[in-house]
Amino acid sequence: MLVTIPDVLNAEEVAEIRRVLESTDWVDGRVTAGDQAIKVKNNLQVPIESQIALELGQIVLKALGSNPTFMSAALPLRVLPPMFNRYDVGMTFGAHVDGSIRALPGGQRMRTDVSSTLFLTPPEDYDGGELVVHDTYGTHAVKLPAGHMVVYPATSMHSVTPVTRGSRWASFFWTQSMIKDDWQRHMLYDLDRSIMSIRERLPDDDAAVVGLTAHYHNLIRQWSEV
C-alpha cells in the first residue's frame, strides 16, 4: 500500500528545517547503507548521531504524532528517529530493498515494516530525483511538494532517479507497525477511511458506525503484535 500524505509539515516548519540544514555538515550517505545498497547509493546525509539530526527529527516526530493519516496508514508501534538526505546533480540511488532490522538509540532493534519519505524541496526547484517504488501493481514515481510525505511497504523495491538540476532534500525513516502484514494494514486503512466517511453523515451512536468501529478494533486486536 502506497499512501501520499499532504501537509505533514507546514511551510514554516519546512523553512526552519531547511534553514538549519543549510548550515550543517553532510557526509557520504553510504555510511548507513547495507552490503547491497552501498553499491548503488550515491547521496549525502546528515550524520545520524548529530544533535542537529536529533533536534530536526523531533519536529518531524511531533508532526507525525498529530497526523491522523499517518497513524491510520502505518499503525505505528515504533518509529526510527528521522534522518535527512540530499541528492545534488548526478546523485542517485539504484534499485534496492531497505534492511529489515534497524537499531534504535540505546541498542534496541526494530523491524522495518513501513518506509517514509518526507519531501523538503519544492518539485520545481530540481529535475529528476523521483522516488520510484516497484510493487505487484506496477511502478510508481513519486515527487511531492515540500512538506508532503509518502509511506509504502519497506518490502518494496525502490530507487531514486538521478538529479539533473538543483538539489533534492528529504527526511526519511522507518516504522515498525503494530500490524506486520501489509495487506492487513491495507484493509484496516481502507476500513478506517470508510468509517470516517460514514461518520460525516451519521451520528457516532448510529448502529452502523458503532458496529464498523467495533469490527475495526477487533481486527486490530486479532492481528496486532502488541
The reply to whether 75 and 154 lie within a common domain is yes
Backbone angles phi, psi at 202, to 5 degrees: -125, 150
Q: What is the pLDDT of residue 158?
A: 96
Average pLDDT over residues 47-62: 95
Residue 217 CA to residue 97 CA, distance in Å, equals 31
Looking at the structure, do residues 102 and 155 belong to the same domain, yes or no? yes
> What per-residue confidence (pLDDT) applies to 75?
98
Q: Do 131 and 28 share a structural domain?
A: yes
Mean pLDDT, the chain, integer: 95
User: Does one domain contain both 70 and 94?
Assistant: yes
Could you report the per-residue pLDDT of 75-115, keeping only the tens digit for each?
999 999 999 999 999 999 999 999 999 988 888 899 999 99
Residue pair 78/110 in contact by the 8 Å Cβ criterion: yes
Claim to verify: residue 197 and residue 110 sit in the same structural domain: no
Q: Are 179 and 188 in contact (CB under 8 A)?
A: yes
Map residue 36 onto helix, strand or coil: coil
Claim to verify: residue 170 and residue 202 sit in the same structural domain: no
Boundary residue ending a domain (177, 200, 215) = 177
CB 91 within 8 A of CB 26: no
Same domain assignment for residues 217 and 154:
no
* Model pTM score: 0.95
State the average pLDDT over residues 115-122: 98
| pLDDT(45) > 90 | yes
Range of the domain at 188: 182-223
Task: Give me the number of domains the chain comprises.
Answer: 2
Beta 168-177 vs 76-79: how paired, if at all? antiparallel
Do 146 and 45 fall within a single domain? yes
The CB density around residue 32, as the number of other CB atoms within 10 Å, is 17
Instruction: Looking at the structure, tell me whether residues 170 and 201 fall in a common domain.
Output: no
- 60 & 112 share domain: yes
Q: What is the CATH number of the domain that holds 96?
A: 2.60.120.620
* 110 plus 218 within the same structural domain: no
Q: Is the pLDDT of residue 165 over 80?
A: yes
| One domain for residues 156 and 189 | no
Domain boundary among 158, 177, 196: 177
Q: Pick 32 or 82 by higher pLDDT.
A: 82
